[in-house]
Amino acid sequence: MTAPQRVLIVLHGSIGDVTRALPLVNRVRRGYPKAKIAWAIEPPALPLVERHPAVDEAIVFDRRHWWKSFFPFLRRIRSQRFDLVLDLQRHFKSGLISWWSGARSRVGFHPRDAKEFNWLFNNLHIPATGDGISKLDHYLEFAKALGLETRPMEWRLSLDREEERGVEDLLKEVPVSFAAFFVGSKWESKRWFPEKTARCAVELRRRHGLGTVLLGGPEDRDFAAEVSALCGHHCANLAGRTSLRKAVGVLARAAVSIGPDTGLMHLSAAVGTPVVSLWGATNPVRTGPYGYESLAVQGKASCSPCYLRRCPIGRVCMQAIDIEEVVGKVGEELGRKKHGERN
């Protein structure tokens, strides 16, 4: 394939999906250093790409006001005259955007791995893999299809000086060594429990001297407030008090992070902070944090993973996660870091 001049990444997905696609866009930038690279995205994950060094332009689709934003969005896509599209979403909408771009090369998922007739809109497809590989590795199949290297593994997430100062202000009362608990999830089925979270935090403070920082969105404030009340005055509750980028800065300073399958889990891995991830409704093989797969804790239940957003039986799988196992994983990781076994 001739080196493209104008490349469009289509991924309107979750914060976690966008985070896992950053190594791919970095490879595209390395492979096509003179190309203009744009990313079609929705507002929640926009802070991750709008100032990213590999991305020249973010083209935003505001789904909340789709009736007035969709056609201007499509006009902007068509006007860019892209010659290569990488459709990373595998749904009808992303396929439509890919096709509408008019690009001569539109690369998407293999028909067996796509959904909602997505493959009909793309004229090139990566090989079929199934769901037995991680999403991050699945995205890197696009680099292989283009003949690009898949290494080094880079995210290149960084804050500007003002954002760094803002993070320092948020953490000024927090011990230098702390554990970051990301407590929220859009799926009720993925959430752990306030009392278990608090007991885990207390044990980490008792055994390893770690402070506690709670992270989450505005919708997680009640959960975090309950955890904070159970922990006592040693807990810094930042849920709903940080931007997404400042949350990245907090995670980058943590000794370890802990929480369920959510976007902050992937961001923790992306900035190199070990993450003990908690699993029940979903599968860590497919969506686990890159590089920290061995720290995953899987709750046991006959129906797990169910992929249901709401659990009809009280989140038996998440109830089954043992605090001692979580604390033990943290202790093992702190020991590895102490002996220089992590890069």
Is residue 222, in this structure, part of any structural domain at all? yes
% of the chain exceeding 70 in pLDDT: 99
Instruction: Select the more confidently predicted residue: 232 or 280.
Output: 280
Domain of residue 17, CATH code? 3.40.50.2000
Note the pLDDT of residue 131.
Answer: 86
Residues 103 and 172 in one domain: no
Cis peptide before 53, with omega less than 30 degrees from 0? no
- Give the burial class of 109: count Cβ atoms within 10 A of its Cβ; 0-12 exposed, 13-18 middle, 19 or more buried: buried
Are 177 and 213 contacting, i.e. CB atoms less than 8 angstroms apart? Answer: no
Residues 175 and 130 in one domain: no
Instruction: Select the more confidently predicted residue: 234 or 260.
Output: 260
Averaged confidence pLDDT in the chain = 94
Residues 221 and 297 in one domain: yes
Residues 107 and 188 in one domain: no
What is the value of pTM for the model shown? Answer: 0.94
Are 105 and 32 contacting, i.e. CB atoms less than 8 angstroms apart? Answer: no
Measured CA to CA, the distance from residue 40 to residue 21 in angstroms comes to: 13
Is residue 1, in this structure, part of any structural domain at all? no
Is residue 155, in this structure, part of any structural domain at all? no
Residues 132 and 29 in one domain: yes
Q: How far is CA 79 from the centre of its chain?
A: 30
Are 330 and 202 contacting, i.e. CB atoms less than 8 angstroms apart? Answer: no
Residues 223 and 321 in one domain: yes
Domain closes at, from 116, 145, 174: 145
Residues 77 and 215 in one domain: no
Beta bridge partners of 124: 107
Note the pLDDT of residue 343.
Answer: 52
Is residue 113, in this structure, part of any structural domain at all? yes
Is residue 152, in this structure, part of any structural domain at all? no
Note the pLDDT of residue 64.
Answer: 85
Averaged pLDDT, 2-9 = 95
Averaged pLDDT, 17-37 = 97
For residue 65, give the amino acid letter.
H
Q: How many domains does the chain have?
A: 2
Q: Is pLDDT of 160 > 60? A: yes
Q: What domain range includes position 138? A: 6-145
Task: Go through 129-138 and write b for each residue having 16 or more CB atoms within 10 A of its CB, e for each that does not.
Answer: eeeeebbbeb
Residues 265-290: pLDDT tens digits? 999 999 999 999 999 999 998 899 99
Mean pLDDT lowest for which of 196-200, 224-228, 243-247, 283-287?
Answer: 283-287
Q: Is pLDDT of 183 > 70? A: yes
Residues 117 and 167 in one domain: no
Give how far Cα 117 sits from Cα of 93, 97, 109, Å.
10, 13, 11
Is residue 215, in this structure, part of any structural domain at all? yes
Residues 93 and 190 in one domain: no
Is residue 285, in this structure, part of any structural domain at all? yes
Domain closes at, from 100, 118, 145: 145
Residues 128 and 167 in one domain: no
Give how far Cα 160 sits from Cα of 229, 242, 243, 268, Å.
33, 15, 13, 18
Note the pLDDT of residue 342.
Answer: 61
First CA to last CA distance, the chain = 36
Note the pLDDT of residue 244.
Answer: 96
Q: How far is CA 34 from the centre of its chain?
A: 28
Residues 21 and 129 in one domain: yes
Is residue 154, in this structure, part of any structural domain at all? no
Measured CA to CA, the distance from residue 13 to residue 42 in angstroms comes to: 8
Contacts 24+ apart (CB under 8 A), 326-332: 326/200, 326/258, 326/276, 326/278, 326/297, 327/200, 327/203, 327/204, 327/207, 329/276, 329/295, 329/297, 330/179, 330/204, 330/208, 330/210, 330/256, 330/258, 330/276, 331/207, 331/208
Domain closes at, from 145, 178, 210: 145
161 CB-side CA count, 13 A: 0
Residues 223 and 258 in one domain: yes
Measured CA to CA, the distance from residue 227 to residue 153 in angstroms comes to: 35
